[in-house]
A and B are shown apart, each in its own frame.
Chain A
């Protein structure tokens, strides 16, 4: 193999993936570890990587404790309500009590936060959201990370975590390859903070052909957070809790500012309000505790995201689609109209392109909405991710094993999408989680927990062979056929991705089956996944770029397998509107008021599932 092996040794903190979580980790690590060696390995360029590459027009998680607006526990209750109870409330409380300090620093660094001219507080879009001019959000936080890190390795696709050969279940760094030079990179590190992303493109997207990249979550979010950690044997939680988004059709432009700030609203094709008519049936499904519409009317509590989706889906199925966003009223105000457009340009330019292309002027025409394909991630209105320890002063014993945000693999920490059970962290909360993980990782090292790590030459060379195998496969078999992409010995990454998406869609509750699945379907799906996993051993890459796609696909595969296992395990319909278990159409608190936790054996690939107790914040009377 012509590719060089480049070893970076003696790292204290390796940040694998530097979106908002990873940049927060790298930045904060320098404060607690003045003399520690901090290294970032990032698949793209940290100036424009991760979910915030394009920018954001709002920070969706800000308490405003400084202005007396909210306390952390208020946010926990909100997240709990939105996720139908399923939240790691220790982690959520911890994130919420720190998140404001991240936001205040962003403002000092130059991120333009809008102010309310009357009160002097930040301009609120909703109770938790503040409005920003965030086109350069990512370059700004990247600058902070660069100032703290000893080295930043851009364009390194991290494929595997290194494991300690001296002590079982302890991390020892990571390996990957440079997507430009092809060189093999080995990072030997005492700790790893996994800041990699959640998963788009594992369920078949609604867009086809050239438009397949038009997904809600970035197409480069390849589930690597989960792929890396699952492969290392870290326990995962709530992986069944995929998210479906109601968004502007085709462009997937955001609706948050439209609903909350512009006060637009939805209606069916007859111009009727439709949500409330589905509430009685929904209350039957989920129980009064989760949808008390009378109570909600009095308390102005928002309806959970999944249940609003359910009303949307049901109304369309009843033949009264499409659902429209009524923009024609708000957009008569030129100021609000401008905000509406800026909102897209700041974070989803493609929606502006689409309206320009289709001559949709929301001032004179109410645009269509749609429900998206599902996504697996842990920082929006969903909480997939690793089973992590909480903070010492908050967590009950089942949730605490020594270091905040440490997974069940020693020395392996998570931030952002990587951490399970912490929905509604968004950008600012992910950055905050990175900071928390960094402090804990420094403490782990200072406590002597990373002593005596040994990485054998054998492990390093085995992983090297593994990484480049798709190139070998291509070399060996491609000349067996005259030309073209059809080969009896291998599949290429695109073909593999199409196959994965079809399986996930049809058997795991994608849009193509109206988000419906059941035990039988899941079991067939898992059987197909097994053969697919075997075929992935015969994936071929014609060049280094395809090798990147091959490894992204392997991470997506591991993520998907976990989603299948968790969905099979939870025998209830906890989140109607995200997905339905047709064989258990009701929410079942008697048996399933728990968090689901999985473990995939590193050596055998076998899954074991367990229920973990669910704790809630209550008044200490």
Chain B
């Protein structure tokens, strides 16, 4: 639901501007703080809310169907590898804390640099295999599935 920015918390750092997938978080040139320039193109994806170092961005449900008085807040921590949510209902009867992992590895350390991996052989180039296959598909010695290996053919027309 559309985001808004608290005047006293925003320092105009632009992290939200940098991350917003919809290009709707912009810096107001007079106030030098961020704001949502196009609420009706906001997907409430929370990318900016998560990226804001000051928790200056929040969400107020769409005016055309969401009543006031609720809150869904979030804190995402790449170092800890977690995301923490707090949901508060309008009537105050429900107040939930939820925690989920965002990664199982130290952030950004376990992705291979493919330029440093041994180059594929010509035989592999001519095959249907992709990087790390077939072993990443199956653990036995078998190869990639083909029509032949699976006893199949393609036939034109209805199949029934």
A residues apposed to B, CB below 8 Å: 27-28, 30-32, 34, 43-45, 47-50, 53-54, 65-66, 71-73, 80, 85, 89-90, 93-94, 97-98, 100-101, 104-105, 107-112, 133, 135-136, 140, 143-144, 147-148, 155, 179, 207-215, 218-220, 250, 289, 338, 341-342, 345-346, 349-350, 352-359, 361, 391-396, 435-436, 439, 443, 545, 548, 589, 593, 613-620
Contacts and interface: CB of A to CB of B under 8 A. Distances in A.
Given A358-B67, A435-B130, A620 B152 contact: yes
Contacts of B40: 209-213
A289 to B, nearest CB: 5
13 contacts: A28-B114, A31-B131, A85-B159, A93-B152, A101-B133, A135-B76, A211-B1, A211-B63, A213-B42, A218-B43, A220-B41, A342-B100, A392-B128
Interface residues of B, number: 93
Given A356-B72, A436-B130, A73 B114 contact: no
Contact of A209 (B18, B63, B78, B87): B63
Contact of B43 (A73, A214, A359): A214
B64 A209 contact: yes
Nearest to B2: A210
A101 B132 contact: yes
Given A98-B137, A616-B154, A338 B98 contact: yes
Contacts of B62: 207, 209-211, 213-214
A30 B21 CA distance: 26
B158 A135 contact: no
Interface string B64-93: 111111111010101001010101111101
A349 B147 CA distance: 42
B158 A133 contact: no
B132 A54 contact: no
Contacts of B2: 210, 213
A337 to B, nearest CB: 9
Contacts of A44: 20-23
Main secondary structure of the interface of A (DSSP, over half): helix
A147 B89 contact: no
A28 B114 CA distance: 8
Listed from nearest, the 5 A-B pairs whose CB atoms lie closest are: A110-B105, A211-B62, A101-B136, A616-B159, A356-B70
B8 interface: no
A356 to B, nearest CB: 4
Contact of A394 (B46, B87, B120, B154): B154
